[in-house]
Amino acid sequence: MPLMPARPAARLARQGVRACRSRCEPPSRRPAALFFSTSAARRSEENFSTSATPHSRENFSTSTTHHLEADFSTSAAHHSEADFSTSAAHHSEENFSTSAPRRFEAYREVRSRPRWSYTPERMKAPFSPHITHDPTRSIWRVNEDPKKLDAALNSFLGRSGERMLSEDLKWLAVTHKSFDQGRRGFNDRLAFLGRQICILECTQSIITSPPRIQATPGDPFAGRREPYDDPALRSIDSLAAFQPNDVLNYNTLTRIAMETGLTEVVRWKPRMPENLDGSGYDVIMAGAIYGIIGAISLHKGGKYASWIVREKLLKRVQPAW
């Protein structure tokens, strides 16, 4: 049987398929031409499917992937924007409505109080590691009145003495490190600077004063030698009789502090309230005076601090030596 062209064979195959579907006959009762048309149709469908399937799959997969990605990106972006906007609005409203005013109020309350009047919250421990055997020793009150401190400074430094220092520096100069465990600052470094200024001015005062040392009595070589003598060096011999520590000792400085009222405004905590001398009373009062001199030196300058030492401190003790 001669072969037919591809197009008529495919047409006959399609007609045969439609006829078989309409009659629903089993394959054994179908004519040979129908079998031929069926096989030809099968081959043509295989060729068509083989050639068309890769392109259709690629086109389908590409278009499907593109649409799915577009849909997913659009939906994901929509949901993410909605979630982000909702969460951001929620957190911003919550922070703005609750935390921000509280933090601002706490910050404003802290800034409204002077630094010397309170202990920072972050420096407070939830409990004290120290075991207090005698609770009565923990009771000690200090001055918290700025007017009382100003009056003591006016008595020590003269008129307008409270204006020589700033508010925080005044309280720092009269605060010992035993007060509040040093959490409000203390005057150790100010006292060190003030002590050096006092020693310098006291040494100059001793050198510039008239010589008070006499010639050594009973010198066996008095008639046979004459020591070198110069008017500019005569007063240096006074340092052999007087030292700055002899002039400005703890007892003298404590007496000045008591006369000017500084003992009532110094902030400290004695180790033994029933024994102030054993707790270092004289040392702490002298340190307060040195601290005031050091604070003036930092705030007003060294020349002004030296003038304060000469006029307000040495003149109080000079008749004694």
At 61-114, the pLDDT tens digits run 444 444 444 444 444 444 444 444 444 444 444 444 445 555 556 555 556 788
User: Which SS3 state, helix, strand or coil, does residue 118 take?
Assistant: coil
Instruction: State the Cα–Cα distance between residues 316 and 218, nearest whole angstrom.
Output: 37
> What is the band of 125 on the pLDDT scale with cuts at 50, 70, 90?
confident
Instruction: State the Cα–Cα distance between residues 62 and 53, nearest whole angstrom.
Output: 14
Cα dihedral 293, 298, 303, 308, rounded to 10, equals: -20
What is the full DSSP assignment across 163-182? GSS-HHHHHHHTB-TTGGGG
Fold of 143-211+231-320: Ribonuclease iii, N-terminal Endonuclease Domain; Chain A (1.10.1520)
CB 257 within 8 A of CB 288: yes
Beta bridge partners, 175, equal 267
Across the range 145-170, mean pLDDT stands at: 92
Q: Which of 123, 99, 235 is nearest to 185 (CA)?
A: 123
Considering only the C-alpha atoms of the chain, give the largest distance between any 2 of them, rounded to a whole number of Å: 170
CB 191 within 8 A of CB 294: yes
pLDDT of residue 4: 53
Q: Which of 321, 314, 260 is nearest to 288 (CA)?
A: 260
Per-residue model confidence as pLDDT tens digits over 214-235: 655 666 777 777 777 777 777 7
Give domain limits for the chain. Answer: 6-111, 143-211+231-320
The lowest-confidence range among 115-124, 249-258, 290-299, 302-311 is 115-124
Three state DSSP letters for 235-298 = HHHHHHCCCHHHHCCHHHHHHHHHHHCHHHCCECCCCCCCCCHHHCHHHHHHHHHHHHHHHHHH
How many C-beta neighbours within 10 Å does residue 100 have?
12
**What is each CA distance from 304 to 258, 296, 314, in whole angstroms?**
24, 7, 15
Kindly state the percentage of the chain with pLDDT values over 70: 65
What is the full DSSP assignment across 123-138? G--SS--S--S-GGGG
Across the range 149-178, mean pLDDT stands at: 93
pLDDT of residue 148: 95
Instruction: State the Cα–Cα distance between residues 151 and 155, nearest whole angstrom.
Output: 6
pLDDT of residue 217: 62
Highest mean pLDDT range out of 32-36, 43-47, 270-274, 287-291? 287-291
Name residues whose C-beta falls within 8 Å of residue 143's C-beta, 6 or more positions apart in sequence.
149, 264, 265, 267
